[in-house]
Amino acid sequence: MSKKAVLVVISGPAGTGKGTVVKELVRRGAAEISISATTRVPRGQEQNGVEYHFLTKEKFERMIGEDGFLEYAEYCGNYYGSPKAPVDKWLSEGKNVILEIEVEGYQKVKAKRPDCIGIFIMPPSMEELENRLRGRNTETEEQIQKRLSRAAEEIPLAELYNYVVVNDSVQDCADKIEYIFKSETDN
């Protein structure tokens, strides 16, 4: 059954370019992006309310107690979570909402909101993923190897998602995802 707006979870291995695809969808006005909360400290140029909402551990735990998150996880000693209120506000206004989170977060959201749509973004090949990770020039060889082995673990989990889209070009990938939004809603 189609509806006014959909909650969409987008996941995919580091280096697939999913962040760029999501930015393109937001630029096109196809969806709102949920900004996660975290207790980790900002990195580099990161700004509060742009990349993340940077919260103290106390504030984050208070929000957990108030059932303020759709899902949250502990990762490398810090909390990360998707605040519930903006997501529900946008959905009630008929706007599609994207959560860009990893696979475990997706499984938690799917359990709570079975009608959410999972989209897994796949690199064109492992060779291309490796080229992209190396091309970013932001990771050490050890980090690249870690991300590649993490990608090999994540790719088989693509079967848990409603759709798998290969990112061979940002525009084509964004077009396909927009088409999914249209086919899942009556907009």
CB nearer ligand 5GP, residue 40 or residue 132: 40
Contact between 154 and ligand 5GP per CB under 6 A? no
For 53, residues 6+ apart whose C-beta sits below 8 A from its C-beta are 35, 36, 37, 38, 83
CB nearer ligand 5GP, residue 2 or residue 78: 78
d(CA 71, CA 44): 26
Q: Find the binding residues for ligand 5GP in span 4-63 (CB under 6 A).
A: 36, 40
54 phi and psi, to 5 degrees? Answer: -90, 115
Q: Among residues 59, 64, 75, 131, which is the contact residue for ligand 5GP, using CB under 6 A? A: 75
**What residue number has its CB nearest to ligand 5GP?**
105
C-alpha distances (whole Å) from 135 to each of 2, 15, 66, 121 are 41, 10, 43, 19
Contact between 81 and ligand 5GP per CB under 6 A? yes
The residue count for binding ligand 5GP (CB under 6 A) is: 11
Residue 7: CA atoms inside 13 Å, Cβ hemisphere, count? Answer: 21
Contact between 118 and ligand 5GP per CB under 6 A? no
Buried-state track 40-62, b at ≥16 Cβ within 10 A, e below 16: eeeeeeeeeeeebbbbeeeebee
Q: What is the smallest separation between the CB atom of 176 and ligand 5GP, expressed in angstroms?
A: 21
CB nearer ligand 5GP, residue 67 or residue 171: 67
CB nearer ligand 5GP, residue 50 or residue 182: 50
Contact between 105 and ligand 5GP per CB under 6 A? yes
d(CA 87, CA 68): 11
Cα dihedral: 20, 31, 159, 77 (round 10): 70
CB nearer ligand 5GP, residue 1 or residue 67: 67
Binding site for ligand 5GP (CB under 6 A): 36, 40, 71, 73, 75, 80-82, 101-102, 105
